[in-house]
Structure 1
Amino acid sequence: MLGKQSFIKGAVILTAAGLTSRLIGAVFRIALAALITDEGIGLYQMAYPIYTGLLAVSTAGIPIAVSKLVSENIALNNYYGATRVFKVALTLLTISGFVISLAMYLGADFVVTYISRDPRAYIPLVAMAPAIFFVAIMSTFRGYFQGQQTMVPTGASQIIEQLTRVGIALFLAVYLLPMGLEYSAAGATFGAVAGAIFGLLFLVFLYFREKGYMAEKVKNQRVKERVSFGEVLYRIAQLAVPITIGSLILPLINILDLVIVPQRLHVAGFTTERATALYGQLTGMATPLAHIPAIITISLAVSLVPSISEALTLNNYSLIRRNSDLAIRLTLILGMPAAVGLYVLAEPVTQLLYNNVEAAIPLRIIAFSVIFLTLYQTTTGILQGLGKTVLPVKNMALGAFIKVIMGWTLTALPQVNIQGAALATLVGFAISSLLNLGRVRKDTGMKIDYSQYLIKPILAVSAMGLLVHLSYFYLNLFFNNLYAATLSNAAATLISIGAGMVVYGVMLFITGSITREDLQTIPKLGPYLIRLANALHIL
């Protein structure tokens, strides 16, 4: 049997898998940007909001609902109930995945005519449509394993999915490039289909390998409450529908951006080609960089749901408060340096990764959304674990409404243009996350120590930001005398990032932002970090 993990250990496993996947994805984006330029990236990105929106309709809330219900049943030793939840969810997602996949295929012409308004986006949309079917089924298996508080299957399947996706996507993008940008972009989007198939096959293999253990538990269960398909479906829907609506908001925002941003850039005086390029810089270059730190908090949120759900089932409120406090502090400790680092190194990073310093303009603004996006994800995981699935939806809807109003107004101003869309995103996430945090405090009784949550980490991140700025400036001057500009920038950027990480880590100990108790929760690495900190006399 795959072992149960603490929520921190589960988060570490998912984070490692997520970072590996994002690293692979970053290499893919760099290569793809070099192949099809920012205009081609714009076509590629025009398919993705539609795909993610429809995927949210077919899957989003159900894996989390499965995770929560499976963990609740296992906490009560109801293994029959846990397997029943999985089978009902699998049936539901197989059907919904097929229907939504077909809808995306048949509706592609409508999308390019009335939404993206670029007919070249048709082929990338159609090529990606089958992925929804396979991802929907795959997400059920992930939710089932997560409910058992074992995150290895999800993490491993993510890496397999990403490796396959990137390999196939790059091969097809190169192979189809002579036919035109739209065909090359379509080859890139088809990678999602191949990745989903291989990720699903891996999870199916694990399920059948582990099936005997759960079957034995069900067999030995004395009392088996016979619950109808409809009753289980209702319980899943009760949790999943609000989560699905909440998960739909972000893809819907992206679709609205697809409609609003290019259109309002036209109003500001930009040509279609230039508007598409600016849209590509925001959504295909700046936003993915700002979302990298969210890998960790998504992992925290996924791991928190079954952990808090189990604690709630057992009425262990002290554990709920302890896990919530630790998760939120970790979120801020990780989100703040990521935001400041992206702001300080916006130009060097976009030059290094995309050979496009213009993308630094929206990146400098959207960098600070990292803090609020990560906080929103973590607090959403806590609220979902508590069964408060509607609240994050309401809070995100309010933030999204304000974002749309701001984006519509600011993006049409010639002197603001794409920066307006970035600023609107920042404000929207800030509102949603702070409303979430307020409700977590109320429902858990958690006390916020502002010194530990904000003041100490801000001192640490300020020192890091100053060092990174000075480090890059002087290193770039030094390397410019030795190497070509591109190599000089790469060396100065990478060394500055490394130096910033070291300084920030040391400052966390010096300011007391991280305690011995915090380190003890980190599996395997924690004891090593304690010994290292003691040797350096900073703990």
Structure 2
Amino acid sequence: MSKKQLIQSTIILTFANLFTKFLGFYYRIYMSEAIGAEGMGLYQLIMPLYALAWSVTSSGFTTTVSRLTARESARGETGNMGRIVKQALGMCLVLSAAAGAILFFGAEQISAGILHDGRAALSLRLLAFAIPLMAAGSCLRGFFMGLQQMQVPALSQVLEQIVRLLTIFLLADLFVPLGLSYACFAAVCGIFAGETLSFGFTLFSYLRFKRRRKLIKRPSLSSRSAAFVILSMALPLAATRISSSLLSAAENILIPGRLQAYGYSAEKSLALYGELTGMAMPLLLLPSAFLMAASTSLVPEITQSCAAGQSRRLSRTVSASLLFTSVISVGAACFFAVFPKEICYLIYGKPELGRLLLPLAFLCPLLYGQTTLSGLLNGLGEHIFLFWSHILSSAITIAFVWFAMPIYGISAFLAGWFLSLLLTTALALLRLKGATGGMPSPLSCLGKPLLAGLGTALPIRFLILNGTPSKPFFLLTFSGMGLLYLLLLFLLGCLSKETLFPSGKSL
């Protein structure tokens, strides 16, 4: 992949991710006001099941279709591209139909026996119909990612989020007065409507692309060979995502119950869980939209570099990616740590949420680092390593939730999460360095961004303390902080055109 293609792909996905993240924030802000913290907690109980369904039906196939499409496109085997998409799509639909049936017919048992809240049953039944649409759409998006045509995946994300937002606006006043179960159902209606339109748009784009490019060349791969190739790649990827989703779901399901063991009431436990996972965490992850886009684009870039034996290009890509991650994550950590109450007041109108955002801020470098490291290691084919790494991370967190949370409350979860991220990040860095040799210096990667972050945040903090508190004032000062941070990074020599994008046709 040329440097221009990589930059263009990353920019397109970055803007799409940022736009959808901001829409998602507005969506969550409106939801938190409409259904309250307890309603957000019920909604967040359901979402790990949806993530698990995506892992089972879609996760491995999306990346596999992307990688195989890129490979067959480079070989000029357009017929194989079409066969691979059809085979993968068929497998996705079979799996998603089975998953949807389990969720629909087992909604009562799942909500009462697993989620421990029978009010989730109605939402689970509707969510079952969204799973096949999600799976098929993800598979088709993998095709366009493999061709580095990021416009279609980007637009599908934007459309999905817009429809979610419009749906909750239209249905909230109708369903919320009927109770918490129906309020959560209104939010799930947004998911179903968003997935429907996103799939329709992606399918239309695929059929239009296929007709225009005339992908009618006779495939050299037989149906059996295509299925074997797809499964040989998809199964290890899916195993990693499924195990991660299962363990993540276990974490999220356990947290409200262990908070009750700590001494909170059922209502307060669900409300605190909703504030943590439905409000504070999404806010923390907003800057990672930049890294999600880069991570997606890195998979084919790293794969091509390895296949071509271009070790120097591979090392440069790794170093630039980690440096970019450090700049984003350290800056975000300083921002959230110095202004937790002001940010929560600006976004949610609830400065008291700052008590949750402050400790989460210190996780940013590790949490964001996981995104980039996963993209790099996926490109290197290190699926087995990622599988065991995710299991180790979740096992540590679950142990803290189960044993320590009844004694120390929410602090135990945060401590366990920090320890798991620290350990798995260190292991991933060692694995990456051994495989590529690419690693930026600690001074450039951590020292200079931290100096720039503190040099920006502390003066802005002084300005805020001596100013008149208001949302426009906070928004203006935070915008100034972002610009000052970038300026200091360049002055310190941490960022430059040559550092991020070395000269030449490719990275």
Residue of 365, 369, 383 corresponding to 1:371: 365
Is the 1:174–1:184 contact (alpha carbons within 8 Å) kept by the matching residues of 2? Answer: no
* Residue in 2 that maps onto 1:273: 267
Q: State the distance in 1 between where 2:404 and 2:452 align.
A: 34
Deviates more, 1:21-30 or 1:458-467: 458-467
CA separation in 1, counterparts of 2:67 and 2:207?
A: 22
- Counterpart of 2:417 (choices 412, 425, 449) is 425
Report the secondary structure of 2:270's partner residue.
helix
**For residue 338 of structure 2, what is the amino acid of its counterpart?**
V
**1: distance between equivalents of 2:40 and 2:244?**
20
Picking from 260, 274, 286, the partner of 1:292 is 286
Give yes or no for contact 1:331–1:378 (8 Å, CA) kept in 2: yes
Q: For residue 115 of structure 2, what is the aligned residue in structure 1?
A: 116
Q: Are 1:502 and 2:483 counterparts?
A: yes
Q: Distance in 2 between matches of 1:282 and 1:392?
A: 26
Q: CA deviation at 1:282?
A: 0.9
Partner of 2:223: 229
Residues 463-511 of structure 1: per-residue CA shift (max 9 Å, x gap)? 1221332232222xx24xxxxxxxx2x2342123112101111110011
Do the aligned partners of residues 467 and 246 (structure 1) sit closer, same or farther apart at CA in structure 2, a change above 3 Å counting? farther
1:149 counterpart SS class = coil
1:144 counterpart residue number: 143
Q: How does 1:135-284 map to 2 (within 5 A)?
A: 135-215=134-214, 219=217, 226-284=220-278
Alignment of 1:360-399 (within 5 A): 360-399=354-393
Q: Deviations over 1:52-75 (max 9, x none)?
A: 112211111110111111112222
CA 1:368–1:231 in structure 2 vs 1: closer, same or farther (change >3 Å)?
A: farther
CA contact (8 A) 2:453 2:485 kept: yes
Q: Retained in 2: the 8 A contact 1:467–1:500?
A: no
**Greater mean alpha carbon deviation, residues 359-368 or residues 375-384:** 359-368
1-structure distance, mates of 2:460, 2:238: 40
Cα–Cα, structure 1 residues 97 and 227, in superposed 2: closer, same or farther, change >3 Å? same
Distance 1:322 1:214, change over 3 A: farther
State the TM-score, normalizing by the size of structure 2: 0.94
Q: Is the 8 A contact 2:45 2:253 kept in 1?
A: no
* Separation in structure 2 between the aligned mates of residue 345 and residue 466 of structure 1, nearest angstrom: 10
Q: Which runs of 5+ in 1 are unaligned?
A: 480-487, 523-539
Q: Deviations over 1:180-222 (max 9, x none)?
A: 1210111111211110111111112211222145436x64xxx
Query: Shift in Å at residue 426 of structure 1?
Result: 2.6
Pairwise CA RMSD: 2.1
Q: Distance in 2 between matches of 1:521 and 1:140?
A: 33
CA drift at 1:322: 1.8
Q: In the TM superposition, what is the alpha-carbon distance from 1:30 to its structure 2 partner?
A: 0.7
Alpha-carbon offset, residue 310 of structure 1: 2.3
Distance in 1 (alpha carbons) for counterparts of 2:436 and 2:109: 46
Amino acid of the structure 2 residue aligned with 1:494:
L
Counterpart-to-counterpart distance in 2, 1:364 and 1:250: 26
Q: Residues 497 and 261 of structure 1: is their aligned pair in 2 closer, same or farther, counting only changes over 3 Å?
A: same
Paired residues of 1:362 and 1:419 also in contact (CA < 8 A)? no
**Contact 2:326/2:445, CA 8 A, preserved across alignment:** yes
Partner SS for 1:412: helix
1:450 aligns with 2:455: no
**How much has 1:521 moved relative to structure 2?**
7.4
> In the alignment, is the contact (CA less than 8 A) between 1:127 and 1:187 conserved in 2?
no
**Per-residue deviation at 1:330?**
0.7
The amino acid of 1:408's aligned partner reads W
Q: Secondary structure at the match of 2:466?
A: helix
Cα deviation for residue 406 of structure 1 reads 1.8
**Do residues 307 (structure 1) and 301 (structure 2) align?**
yes
| Alignment partners' CA distance in 1, 2:314 and 2:3 | 18
Using the size of structure 1 for normalisation, the TM-score is: 0.88
Q: 1:229 to 1:8 in 2, by over 3 A?
A: same
Which residue of 2 is the match for residue 460 of structure 1? 452
Separation in 1, partners of 2:332, 2:481: 10
**Structure with the larger RCO, 1 or 2 (CA within 8 Å, 6+ apart):** 2
Indicate if the aligned counterparts of 1:347 and 1:357 stay in contact, CA closer than 8 A: yes
Contact 2:48 2:245 in 1 (8 A): yes
C-alpha distance in 2 between matches for 1:246 and 1:467: 44
Task: Give the aligned partner of residue 61 of structure 1.
Answer: 60
- Supply the distance in 1 between the matched residues of 2:81 and 2:4 (Cα, whole angstroms): 18
State the distance in 2 between where 1:262 and 1:417 align: 10
CA distance in 1, matches of 2:462, 2:102: 53
User: Quick one: distance in 1 between partners of 2:25 and 2:173?
Assistant: 17
Give distance in 1, aligned partners of 2:127 and 2:108.
Answer: 14
- Name the SS of the counterpart of 2:106 in structure 1: helix
CA distance in 1, matches of 2:498, 2:321: 13
Corresponding residue for residue 23 of structure 1: 22
Select between 19-28 and 339-348 the one with higher mean Cα deviation.
Answer: 339-348
Give 1:254 shift.
3.4
Query: Are the aligned partners of 2:251 and 2:397 in contact in 1 as well (CA < 8 Å)?
Result: no
- The SS at the match of 1:226 is coil
**Letter aligned with residue 240 of structure 2:** G
Q: CA deviation at 1:142?
A: 0.7
1:79 partner amino acid: T
Which deviates more, 250-259 or 392-401?
Answer: 250-259
What is the CA–CA distance in structure 1 between the aligned matches of 2:82 and 2:499, rounded to whole Å?
Answer: 35
Matching residue's letter, 2:458 = L
Aligned residues between the structures: 502
Match of 1:532 in 2: none
2:327 to 313, 322, 333: 333
Q: What is the one-letter code of the residue matched to 2:483?
A: V
The structural deviation recorded for 1:317 is: 2.5
Deviation per residue, 1:300-322 (Å, 9 max, x gap): 11111112222223222222222
